[in-house]
Chain A
Amino acid sequence: MLSRTADSLYWLSRYVERAENTARIIDAASRLAALPAGYGSATNEWESALAATGSKENFAAHYDEATPETVVDFLAFSPQNPSSIKNCLENARTNARSVRTALTTELWETINSAWLELKNYSPRDHNLSRLADFLRFVKQTSLSFDGSAYRTMLRSDSYCFTRIGVYMERADATARILDVKYHVLLPPGAQVGGSLDYFQWSSILRSVSALTAYHWVYRQNLKPWLVADLLILNQQMPRSIASCYENLTRYLDMLARHYGRQGPSQRHARSTFTRLQNANLDDVFQSGLHEFLSEFIADNNRLGSQINEQYLI
């Protein structure tokens, strides 16, 4: 397959995944921001939303203050934000368009219809129900993208590259969301912020669509360290870092079998996955959650460059 095609497939699915992540973050932030003063924490939720999407500095270059309007505008629609939902969906379509031949009709139509529908939403209609519609539309797009990839694509190298894009993006997003909130995810015995942080924890779970999953897995009320366990180490949880790496290893290995040779990206993903499998939560807290997460984000980026060098250029 052409390297450029692989590159476009990879970025196509990264952008769709990124759009969904951003939509979930906006969703969670607006819920939290709607609580009466004293229920949430002292932090400005909208600033956390910016931090979780890694766009704080870029935001500051264009706006003075993080208000619901400015942040939603920036994260969802702004042309100045390369990762705004609008830009993500537009980039996804540009990539899709340049590799149409590698996509199934269903996959192409999902992206193309989303791009067409995007025109119906504008930053000007600022009301909450309209925003909720928009966020639902974005999540729906990502679901049907994944669904049509799963149901219609040949299990060839093309499929591997779309999956690898999804899991690279998702691992990065989960780590960032956790890192923004690491101060409320303290180990047992430490000074806990009490019930006030409850809404912070549930908001983290909600932003990765894991609130129900939490109750199924742990069958108890929200404990911050269990939230961290679920999202970092639990392989059953499809958004956890460990699960992302299980999948990255699987699809990179599938590629290697397909091409009859493996390289640095396979070795790197496998070693990260092994470390995650062998880690336990105490170790993570021992070395510091924040340190663990920043190290992981850097490590994940290294895998990204290796994939790039090995296949995409």
Chain B
Amino acid sequence: MIAKAFDEMTALGDGCRSGYELVQAWLAATPAETLRQRQQEAELLFRRIGITFAVYGDAEGEERLIPFDIVPRVLTRPEWQRLSKGLEQRVNALNMFLKDIYGKGEVLKAGVVPEDLVYRNPYFRPEMQGMQLPHDIYVMIAGIDIVRVDADTFYVLEDNARTPSGVSYMLENREVMMRLFPDLCARHRIAPVENYADELLATLKSVAPGSAPGEPTVAVLTPGAFNSAYYEHSFLADKLGVELVEGRDLFVRENIVYMRTTEGPKRLDVIYRRVDDDFIDPLAFRPDSVLGVPGLLSAYRAGNVTLANAVGTGCADDKAVYSYMPEIVRFYTGAEPILSNVPTWRCREPDALKYVLEHLPELVVKEVDGSGGYGMLVGPKADSATIENFRQKLIRDPSKFIAQPTLALSTVPTFVGEGVAPRHVDLRPYVLTGADGVKTVPGGLTRVALKEGSLVVNSSQGGGTKDTWVVDVPITDAAIMQFQQQQQQQSRHRP
């Protein structure tokens, strides 16, 4: 049912695609036992540094490692250039869309996106209507999930415009690779990712409120040490050189946000918040939230503090709105979208629903506001009872769902116990938008489904990560020869 997957190293046969020559030579020359040792060293490094995440609803494994695979995923520079142009275009459109729906609503008046999809969206925040944000930027940090099905086709699987996570893994994966495989890394021209934190800080400072001083004070707001992504929050605060604050560290007086410090209150200008809208201000949103800061929203509305990302951006990364992204890109940029969507059936439309119900065993059905791989149906992998169950849910509330064909996601060689085998991957590049435009850091986070045949790459469901390399091509034959000789010499010296 699923077509044979495209392998990014060997294409469909046993050749070698451009960019992968040295990786292939390295894998061929290295015995499985050595790879296993390296894999263990990598795990030890991650555990020592404390890069863990928590899995909700799992008492035993309060802290776990996301498995890291030592075989890098390679993209060539031309491939990346096309991708990054597409990402810039898409994120620009997302920002214009948000400004529009919280402003004049032209995209709705023009009938490009149905009104109820926006106004009745659970993530739509009426509080944001008519607000003027610095430089009209809503989504400063976006993570766009991309899948590949063949040499030329990349699809956007979903847009993450709220609080995309995982960037710390992108950075740490590179560090670990450089430490474990200095030779292999040095033989390539790999575009660096380590400047991400600097770019992020510059981006955050560039969107400070007009009233802020020349050197605005920035902080990262975390729900706290028990959040699954806490490691990442503290990692980012550290790399940015800013305070990592929790709600209880902040207070609002006369619409100004302050941190409680050992030297008394200190004014805060920009908050990179990793707390969802619902929880940031118990006075404005969920009154039972202890993670938030009472009065934060009114300080925000008064223009005295910038929140990154803005409140109400969830409206744009909703899976139902997602299906309109090609139209949204065309509407605001006047150009054809460079990155296409996965073909999507919106179950809210009767014809689409009919098709989906008839083809459930072939399709992937997702909740429009779900995330993390929860609450979805992967038709070809489900038994008939599960499918029937899902069918009932779908009939009860069709507008909650979208459906997509089961894609043959590309594979990348991955070390799995006995040896190296192809596993399905996706890619989450991170896109920053500040006063001086949109920036992407070359590569991003590659997530890999470690189970054979599995298409679910989410870390909460047995997915792992890989380092993602954007390399200069071509890699010359001379370089390959040289590398092979060196590998042979090393294996001779091995005890």
Contacts and interface: CB of A to CB of B under 8 A. Distances in A.
Do A and B actually bind?
A: yes
Interface of A: 1-6, 94, 97-98, 100-101, 105, 108-109, 112-113, 116, 157, 255, 259, 311-313
B262 A97 contact: no
Contacts of A97: 50, 225, 230, 234
B238 A3 contact: no
B259 interface: yes
Nearest to B243: A2
Contacts of B225: 94, 97-98
Contact of B237 (A1, A4, A101): A101
A109 B225 CA distance: 17
B262 A6 contact: yes
A252 B230 CA distance: 31
Interface of B: 47-50, 224-225, 230, 234-235, 237-238, 243-246, 248-249, 259-263
A46 B259 CA distance: 47
B50 A112 contact: yes
Contact of A2 (B49, B50, B238, B261): B261
Given A108-B50, A116-B47, A1 B238 contact: no
Nearest to A311: B262
Contacts of A101: 234, 237-238, 243-244
B245 A2 contact: yes
A100 B244 CA distance: 9
A112 B45 CA distance: 13
A280 B235 CA distance: 51
Nearest to B235: A100
A311 B261 CA distance: 8
A157 B262 contact: yes
22 contacts: A1-B262, A2-B245, A2-B259, A2-B260, A3-B260, A3-B262, A4-B246, A4-B249, A5-B243, A6-B262, A98-B224, A100-B234, A100-B238, A101-B237, A101-B243, A112-B48, A112-B50, A157-B262, A255-B262, A311-B262, A312-B262, A313-B260
Given A97-B230, A100-B238, A109-B48, A3 B261 contact: yes
A34 B11 CA distance: 73
A223 B248 CA distance: 53
Contacts of B224: 98
A102 to B, nearest CB: 9
Contacts of A98: 224-225
Nearest to B241: A101
Contacts of A255: 262
A113 B224 CA distance: 22
Task: Give the 10 A-B CB pairs with smallest separation, nearest first.
Answer: A100-B234, A101-B238, A98-B225, A311-B262, A3-B260, A101-B237, A6-B262, A1-B262, A97-B225, A112-B50
B47 A3 contact: no
A311 B264 CA distance: 9
Given A2-B261, A98-B225, A101-B244, 9 more contacts: A1-B261, A3-B260, A3-B261, A5-B243, A100-B238, A101-B234, A101-B237, A112-B48, A311-B262
Contacts of A2: 243, 245, 249, 259-262
Nearest to A108: B50
B262 A259 contact: yes
Contacts of B47: 116
Contacts, number: 53
Contacts of B48: 109, 112-113
A116 B238 CA distance: 23
Contacts of B244: 100-101
B72 to A, nearest CB: 25
Contacts of A109: 48-49
B263 A259 contact: yes
Interface centre among A2, A113, A313 (most CB of B within 10 A): A2
A259 B244 CA distance: 21
B207 to A, nearest CB: 22
Contacts of A313: 260
A86 to B, nearest CB: 16
A98 B248 CA distance: 13
Contact of A4 (B50, B248, B263): B248
Nearest to B238: A101
Contacts of A108: 50
A101 B234 CA distance: 6
A246 to B, nearest CB: 23
A99 to B, nearest CB: 8
Scoring A100, A108, A109 by chain B CB atoms within 10 A of each residue's CB, the highest score goes to A100
A116 B246 CA distance: 26
Nearest to A4: B249
A313 B248 CA distance: 10
Contacts of B263: 1, 259
Contacts of B262: 1-3, 6, 157, 255, 259, 311-312
Contacts of B235: 100
A113 B262 CA distance: 30
A157 B263 CA distance: 11
Nearest to A312: B262
A6 B249 CA distance: 12
A222 B259 CA distance: 54
Nearest to A313: B260
Contacts of B261: 1-3
A255 B263 CA distance: 10
A103 B238 CA distance: 10
B382 to A, nearest CB: 38
B244 to A, nearest CB: 5
Nearest to A95: B225
A191 B260 CA distance: 57
A223 B47 CA distance: 50
A129 to B, nearest CB: 28
B260 A4 contact: yes
B45 to A, nearest CB: 11
A138 B256 CA distance: 46
Nearest to A111: B50
A157 B261 CA distance: 11
Contacts of A312: 262
A104 B311 CA distance: 34
A70 B262 CA distance: 42
Contacts of B259: 2
A94 B225 CA distance: 8
B249 A3 contact: yes
Contacts of B246: 4
A234 to B, nearest CB: 32
A215 to B, nearest CB: 41
A313 B230 CA distance: 22
A312 B47 CA distance: 31
A312 B50 CA distance: 26
Nearest to A97: B225
Contacts of A105: 49
